[in-house]
Amino acid sequence: MTRLSRPALSQRFPLPLPPKSSTAYINPNAALDLKPGETDDEFIFNPVLTLPPAFGSAYVGESFSCTLCANNELPGDAERHVSSVRIEAEMQTPSGTSPLELRQSEEESPSLQLKSGESIQKIVQFDLREEGSHTLAVNLSYSETTMSKDLSASSGRVRTFRKLYQFVARPCLSVRTKVSSVPNANTEDGQKFLIEVQLENLADGTIILKAVAFNTKPAFKSTSLNWDLARPDVQHSSCPSVAPRDVLQIAFLVEQRIDGPSKEVTKDGRTTLGQLSIQWRSSMGDTGFLSTGWLTTKRK
């Protein structure tokens, strides 16, 4: 049997605790993802680790992560024994199929028996890079041995089964860009351009922009005109949050280097400036990354 789960951060309230002398007492700090006394003001929800009742949404730019769990649910006095459990997984995307590397917390022997009530857990991670339907295909194989009354193996066979988990990857951010030349700036100091960007949150929840940068070609340099304008070398705690369907305007000033290399010009006379990179974090703690194509000037 396999189960698919994704841990999430959501708001919960503590239950009444039994006395510390009781065997049922559990320190409430064990449920927190931070040490006692530490806080993270950028998290919208209370940092308590729980499991969501449903799978949720998946967005392009984020990493799909889940735990695959194979459980031996035979009773303890069963005559059948399970061993050589093997889990394989692959992700089917609109453009093709990719085998997945399964990570485990500790080394496991393939010949080790899986006793009644025990389980094997594997971690799957996959970077979502395209929109559309995705299918996580999981193959599980194991050896089933029937034991006789004198505890000797009387028969055995290999069993396999396959389970499919489908979800749709949707865009999290809509990015619109505009490149314009700065008037009266085409002097001997080099050309200057203004990059205007409009970001719209298409997700179901609020996201927090961690970093937005414009990576230029060697012939240019960029200056952020956003919240990090005063101290671009410092990580700011006041990163903007964008609610669902809200729009945020950002901008960059791109200047040509005086003693830099020559500009890259396309066949139709466009000058290649650079590309925009965006990093964000959702209200559930998932991190995302998006990079645009190369931005160019208008055709001459």
Block means of pLDDT (10 residues each) for the chain, length 300 residues? 42 53 60 57 50 67 87 79 87 93 64 74 90 92 77 72 90 93 68 93 90 92 84 63 93 88 86 94 85 87
Give the tens place of pLDDT for each residue, 139-171: 998 888 876 666 565 667 888 989 898 889 999
- Domain 172-296, CATH number (from 3.30.2130.10, 3.40.50.800, 2.60.40.1470, 3.10.28.10): 2.60.40.1470
- Domain 2-170, CATH number (from 2.40.30.10, 1.25.10.10, 3.40.50.970, 2.60.40.10): 2.60.40.10
**Short-list 289, 292, 275, CA closest to 217:** 275
Pairing of strands 153-171, 58-60: parallel
> Nearest 5 degrees, angle CA 195-CA 199-CA 203?
160
CA distance 243 to 205: 7
For the chain, strand residue ranges (E) read 2-5, 8-10, 48-50, 58-60, 63-71, 80-93, 96-99, 113-114, 119-127, 132-147, 153-171, 173-181, 192-201, 207-216, 220-224, 241-242, 247-256, 272-282, 287-291, 295-296
For CATH 2.60.40.1470, the residue range(s) in the chain are 172-296
For CATH 2.60.40.10, the residue range(s) in the chain are 2-170
Tell me the whole-structure pTM to 2 decimals: 0.68
CB count within 10 Å of CB 22 equals 9
